[in-house]
Structure 1
Amino acid sequence: MRKLLPLIGTPSQSHPGGRSAMTCRFRCGDACFHEVPNTSDNEYVGEIIAGAIGRRTMVRAAAVVTVAAAAGTAGVAGALPAAAAPADTSGKSSGNSGKSSGKPSAKAARGLRYSSVAPNTADAVTVPDGYAQNVVIRWGEPILRGAPAFDPEKQTAAAQAGQFGYNNDFLALLPIPGECDRQLLVANHEYTDEVLMFRGYDAANPTRQQVEVAWAAHGLGVVVVEEDRRTGKLTAVPRHHLNRRVTATTEFRLTGPAAGSDLLKTSADPTGTKVLGTLNNCSGGTTPWGTTLHGEENFNQYFANSGRATDKRYGIGTGATERKWERFDKRFDVAQEPNEVHRFGYVVELDPYDPTSTPRKHTALGRFKHEAATVRLTDDGRPVVYSGDDERFDYFYKFVGSKRMKKGSSRAVREHNLSLLDEGTLYVARLTGDSPTIEIDGTGKLPADGEFDGSGEWIPIATATAKGAVSHVEGMSAEEVFVFTRLAGDKVGATKMDRPEDIQPSPVTGKVYVALTNNTNRGVGANAKADEANPRNANKHGHILELTERLGRPESTTFAWSLFLVAGDPDDPATYFAGFPKDDVSPISCPDNVAFDPHGNLWISTDGSQLGSHDGLFGVATRGSRRGELKQFLTVPNGAETCGPIVQDRRVLVAVQHPGEVDGATVEKPASTWPDGPGKIVRPAVVAVWRKDGEDIGV
């Protein structure tokens, strides 16, 4: 039996998923301690259909039904599909799906041949033997011309607007034409932790200067990085002409079907098309046309004094906010500006190659707590975007565009491609298990067929075209669907999931992986009980779902699914690693961000491990005889979360977010000395890791 490590610091045992109370306070506004926003009574499909129709007959029927992308009479999505002839819906192929195939080979999968890092509580980034690391860039380092060096005792909004922002999450690396040793690093700056930023911070009475610094520390950062050819080391290039900061006061353009709607108009913007800033950007994605996407997640916590039912569904509070921004700008006070909150919760698109461009918020992708936005193309060049809604019992979505990507770099081509996410159909997922309900007992015990699996359908909720938009949800207009997307998901009976976060399609197999971080409310009280897609009550460790679109086509409206990984201590019988022997895998808890390496392995970063170890980064094989073998690659310092993994041939990048965020910590009493040692302020940062011998990662 593995011995789990004691919890570090002084985290409250009542905080689910292993997070400190401080993290819950600043990152998501104590979301897990509020009433569950989703009080809809839509049931899991596996429970609805138990009865007259044979279960497996129904599953086959559900898996072959198709819905035209632009079709949609009101209410069509709410009906169960009619029976149809069986078709190839499983998407399974020998060795690539289901359980690990055959006897494992002697070696780990290519890309994962490193010594696993043991669970630990070291106040450091701990990497495998034979690997080295460096800090690429820290919070506060100047990246724009004229920005001063970072001085934690003399912070100003003007300085911070030219410096790297706080709490880096999603990362992207893009090539720079003509600069072969350089790449463009794009980072999300999700949120601020004022008690770790300002000496003597008074949470009840923040100053205007502190608030304005926090506004400037949110948003996005673009900075050129340069590699050392002899190693994998990366260093930031300050004051490059492509470097950029986007903050909570940068102008954005609202685009798509809800732009200009009365629901988005404010006193400052009567057109409903311009909004200042982006908030709480969590994960994101890159596009085939050279832009980056950023998901606005826990935006609800920034808005005060709401009393509307629609806001309650989004977790908007009725009183003051933690940061008290409403004291300094009325747009954060719902009582004064009721529509401002409707202008957040979207997918943001940034053109990182044009520092003068206006970023866009795409309303066609819906409004909810977007964890991510990842893109793949259909065979005819249309974008498909996957995104999870990071909330207990909420849903995951897919957008299928109707316009085709154009190739080229002219201004006209780039402008066309920047409009690709404004027209198409938005879908929400409904999952059906293929095991009898009685076999899903909430403990995580596998059903008789040896897998948690089944079929699913993408339910259309609205379609946007150049001529207008059409709702597919009875009782809701198209504008309402795009602004109150959660309500649309409720109405059509989407499947309540355990905090769907990052979603990544495999570039090798096309299978789609959905990280479900945890849900300690599952099966508690009147909340939804375990189902085959979310098989554990009081789920504190999370799981990863593997989804196969019908016939491998991303625009399909049906899919097969199985749980690829059920997280936790491998000695716990309620865990599952794609059928791989559990005595040879690393323990893992609370999967959050996911990425793929060049070999097709899935890499998983964690947020709030409940196993006593610090959060980390893990690689797991998705194919072949070692499918399901999971190995820990690194851990992060005290109080930190592992974010934004990028795995290249010779380098791994992670964003070390909120280091030192341990209950009771302050600038005066830090809980971490990372990254600069004792006597220095703790600073979120980006870290690069490489092999000391210069060879590729994990080979």
Structure 2
Amino acid sequence: MSSHQDSGRVVPLPLLTSHSASRSATTCRYRCGDACAHDAPNTSDNAYFGDVVRNVLSRRKALRTGGALALSFGAATALTGTAVAAPGDRGHGTGPGDRPHGVPGTDFQPVPPNTEDRVVIPEGYEQDVVIGWGDPVVPGAPEFDFHNQTAAAQEKQFGYNNDFAGLIPLNGSGKRNLLVVNHEYTTEPHMFPDYDEENPTEEQVRIAWAAHGLSVVEVQRERGGGLTPQAGRHNRRITLNTEFELRGPAAGSDHLKTSADPTGTKVLGTQNNCAGSVTPWGTVLSGEENVNQYFGNADQVTDPKTKQRLDRYGFSGGASDRKWERFDKRWDLAQEPNEANRFGWVVEIDPNDPDSTPVKHTALGRFKHEGAAVHVTRDRRVVAYSGDDERFDYIYKFVSNGRMKPGRSAHARRHNMGLLDDGTLYVAKFRGDSPESEIDGSGKLPSDGEFDGTGEWIALASGDRSFVPGFSAEEVYIFTRLAADAVGATKMDRPEDIQPSPVNGRIYCALTNNSNRGSAGNAAPDEVNPRIGNKHGHVLEVDDEHTGTRFRWNLLLVCGDPNDPSTYFGGFDKSEVSPISCPDNVAFDRHGNLWISTDGNALDSHDGLFAVPVEGPERGKVKQFLTVPVGAETCGPVITDDLVTVCVQHPGEDAEDPSRPTSHWPDGGDSRPRPAVAVVWRKHGGEIGQR
């Protein structure tokens, strides 16, 4: 554990916009297999909806000629279950100048951009480290020893590169909780002091298998702030050796059968788990993302149909970087091509039952899921939203046929987990409402003052019925990207975390970046992805019918340096906002403010966590709450009334020589850096973001 640290004042750095996102080459290689260094796997020629329907009237003109949008979406806000302002409505009030303090939940002194090797937090706050790589999780776990690691030890210890985190109360007081954390990927050169990339040992490979997956840890809230891990009965490690059940309409498909599992219903493990969510019934959804990088010998697959499917998911080349195929043939596509199809799903675990078998839900489709998050409608149907985190890929939703049972009892959890196995899978198609001539790729706002428009959800499959010509239902679920290509879904700029607001019912999606937007041979800018070479990303706001097929959308934020004319902050005065680049994960506080963590800040500062109101006169006023240490990414924010947690992923991973790390967080001195979960709270107690 690190000791408490008070906040510190940091001199702002100059903000430059002349280079791409600042993610290190090592991170790119081991997290996503250098995805951005390769051509995007989406080679479809999908036309932007606005290109097809250019004679559509702009929203302002439609309103003048009879209110077409009001007619189409007259009940949109009622569908959310909350009376809300339409997207872009700045609400009512006398303006920020008349407020004695800021918006509740965002009333703190912003942290300026910096390059400190620590977590920098606002004045009046304190911090600690909850748990980090190698710390004990389950009984019998030894203390971490960097120079003497074993697979047996790692099976019982906190895994590597924490990403999503969820906090689930165990009692009514909220003092005892379950902390559930994803472990996205391993960076072997930084994990092992004697690692040979060409010849990893079997023990190192098995340690990496054990360092993937998830951790479930009981934590105790401390008086005055902080979280302390406990040795509780719920504590659990889920690794690449844990059995999962494949469920839903594609379970048992011939495309999912292997020599080790001729039933096509059981998979060992989960990997590259990125974002996720806590469901209303108390389970955790986790998205399997860049799974292609773990498999070798794709170049030896000769069947044309299989090769086309592998290519669309980024499986390519000979030996994998990690060389796992040398130690288990399931990672060898030449021997087990179907094993690839058993990853890339949304998984669900029940942390309340440490003996439960985790599930992979085939009805939600297979792609590079950043995560999945649930909205419950008035009639208690469940809608799960998910983004496919790749340049020029898509946004999806799933609508259940069944209805949620209230409560978090074992009976309710079992019933509600089954809701995600029966329903309809959709992909999104967007339409802008501005003339094509006004979307020139510069980021300049169109004449109506917003990037906004309408869209539709295109049904792909429901149960054993496919809506995509030439695809069976099981092919839609297993090769979802190809099915979405076939129906002309809108190519997006890396759609990552998507979360529904618990306050206004709208959906918010982080689109991290896409430096290839508008380049030769790639999709041109459009109103929902309006910048050429989009290196800073944007945040999408959707007013959805949820169980219907229509929605309205706008861009809440077009990120970057506020001094850059291509940026947009919900219409708020750009001289009063914090710079933000490469949004990744999103979360909400109880006031409905959106919190955004970043990955790959391209503004010469470290990544951080930001808060922004989405309603009222301060809509769009972005304020930075913290920054993370050298080389690190900010992941998986949890926002409660009295504490904030973030997963600090891959600190020091930008070092060219792993034996000379650029960061020594969290242990300080000359220690090796460790991914870990940090917690922040107000000095002397009190609510986050209130003074």
Q: Distance in 2 between matches of 1:118 and 1:302?
A: 38
Q: Which amino acid aligns with 2:87?
A: S
2:534 alignment partner in structure 1: 539
Residue 98 of structure 1 is matched in structure 2 by 88
Q: Is 1:23 the counterpart of 2:27 in the alignment?
A: yes
Distance in structure 2 (CA, Å) of the matches to 1:225 and 1:96: 39
Distance 1:59 1:472, change over 3 A: farther
Which whole-Å deviations, capped at 9, do the CAs of 1:70-127 have from their partners, x for residues lacking one?
xxxxxxxxxxxxx996442775988663164573343321111111000000000000
| Alignment match, 2:679 | 688
Residue-by-residue CA offset, 1:577-625 (whole Å, 9 max, x unaligned): 0000000000000000000011110000000000000000000011111
Asked if the contact 1:232–1:651 (Cα under 8 Å) also holds between the matched residues in 2, the reply is yes
- The 5-angstrom pairing of residues 72-91 of structure 1 reads 86-88=72-74
Q: 1:519 to 1:236 in 2, by over 3 A?
A: same
1:186 is aligned to 2:180: yes
Letter in 1 for 2:242: T
Q: In the alignment, does 2:229 pair up with 1:219?
A: no
* SS of the residue 1:210 aligns to: helix
Amino acid at match of 1:633: F
- The aligned counterpart of 1:276 is 268
Deviations 1:514-545 (A, max 9, x none): 10000000001110010000000100000001
Please tell me the residue identity of whatever aligns with 1:333.
Answer: D
Please name the residue that 1:132 is paired with: 126
Q: Tell me how far apart the structure 2 counterparts of residues 266 and 462 of structure 1 sit (CA, whole Å).
A: 25
**1:678 CA displacement:** 2.1
Secondary structure of 1:17's aligned partner: coil
Aligned to 2:599: 607
Distance 1:369 1:609 in 2: 22
- Counterpart position of 2:382: 383
Unaligned runs of 5+ in 2: 1-11, 302-306
- Which whole-Å CA distance do the structure 1 matches of 2:447 and 2:16 have between them? 35
Query: Does 2:43 align with 1:39?
Result: yes
TM-score, length basis structure 2: 0.93
Q: Distance in 1 between matches of 2:171 and 2:95?
A: 46
Alpha-carbon displacement from aligned partner over 1:293-352 (angstroms, at most 9, x marks no partner): 000000011111124111111001221111111111110111100100000000000000
SS in 2 for 1:383: strand
Is the counterpart of residue 563 in structure 1 residue 555 in structure 2? yes
**Alignment match of 2:613 (pick from 616, 621, 624):** 621
Q: Match of 1:461?
A: 460
Task: Report Cα offsets for 1:129-179 as digits up to 9, x if no partner.
Answer: 110000000110111111111111111111000001111100000011377
**Is the partner of 1:340 in helix, strand or coil?**
helix
C-alpha distance in structure 1 between counterparts of 2:504 and 2:413, whole Å = 29
State TM-score, norm by structure 1: 0.92
Q: Which amino acid aligns with 1:479?
A: E
Post-superposition CA distance 1:340-398 (Å, at most 9, x none): 00000000000001111100000000000000110111112111100000000000100
- Counterpart residue identity of residue 348, structure 2: E
Structure 1 residues 409 and 698: CA distance shift in structure 2, 3 A? closer
> For residues 409 and 115 of structure 1, what CA distance do their matches in structure 2 show?
38
| Shift of residue 57, structure 1, vs aligned partner | 11
State the AA in 2 paired with 1:19. R
Partner of residue 470, structure 1? 465
Q: Say whether 1:159 aligns with 2:153.
A: yes
Write the distance in 1 (CA, Å) between the matches of 2:687 and 2:321: 45
- Verify: 1:169 aligned to 2:169, yes or no: no
SS of 1:402's equivalent?
strand
Match of 2:116 in 1: 122
Letter in 1 for 2:320: T
CA–CA distance in 2 between the matches of 1:674 and 1:320?
33
Match of 2:14 in 1: 4
Deviation sequence 1:46-75 (CA, Å, 0-9, x none): 011225x65669999xxx99xxxxxxxxxx
Would the alpha carbon gap of residues 517 and 409 (structure 1) be closer, same or farther in structure 2, given more than 3 Å must change? closer
Equivalent residue for 1:493? 488
Task: Name the aligned partner's letter for residue 550 of structure 2.
Answer: T
Q: Give me the whole-angstrom Cα distance separating, in 1, the residues matched to 2:416 and 2:270.
A: 21
Whichever residue aligns with residue 564 of structure 2, its letter is D
Write the distance in 1 (CA, Å) between the matches of 2:514 and 2:554. Answer: 19
The equivalent of 1:256 in structure 2 is: 248
Partner of 2:135: 141
RMSD of the alignment, in Å?
Answer: 2.1
State the one-letter code of the partner of 1:211. V
Q: Counterpart in 2 of 1:669?
A: 660
Partner of 2:278: 286
**Is residue 235 from structure 1 mapped to residue 225 from structure 2 by the alignment?**
no
User: What whole-Å deviation, never above 9, does each CA across 1:442-494 have from its counterpart, x for those lacking one?
Assistant: 00000011100000111110002xxxx10000110000000000011101111
Aligned residue in 2 for 1:367: 366
CA distances 1:25-45 after superposition (whole Å, capped 9, x unpaired): 110000001111001001100
Task: Give yes or no for contact 2:655–2:661 (8 Å, CA) kept in 1.
Answer: no
What aligned pairs does 1:184-583 form with structure 2 within 5 A after superposition? 184-229=178-223, 231-237=224-230, 239-306=231-298, 307=301, 308-408=307-407, 411-464=410-463, 469-550=464-545, 554-583=546-575
Are the counterparts in 2 of residues 120 and 614 from structure 1 also a CA contact under 8 Å? yes
Give the whole-Å Cα distance in 1 for the aligned partners of 2:96 and 2:443.
Answer: 24
Larger mean Cα displacement after TM superposition, 670-679 or 217-226: 670-679
Deviates more, 1:93-102 or 1:413-422: 93-102
Please, which moves more after superposition, 352-361 or 84-93? 84-93
- Checking the alignment, whether the CA contact within 8 Å between 2:281 and 2:412 is kept in structure 1 is no
- Mapping for residues 49-60 of structure 1, pairs under 5 Å: 49-51=53-55
Q: Given residue 232 of structure 1, which amino acid in structure 2 is its aligned partner? A: G
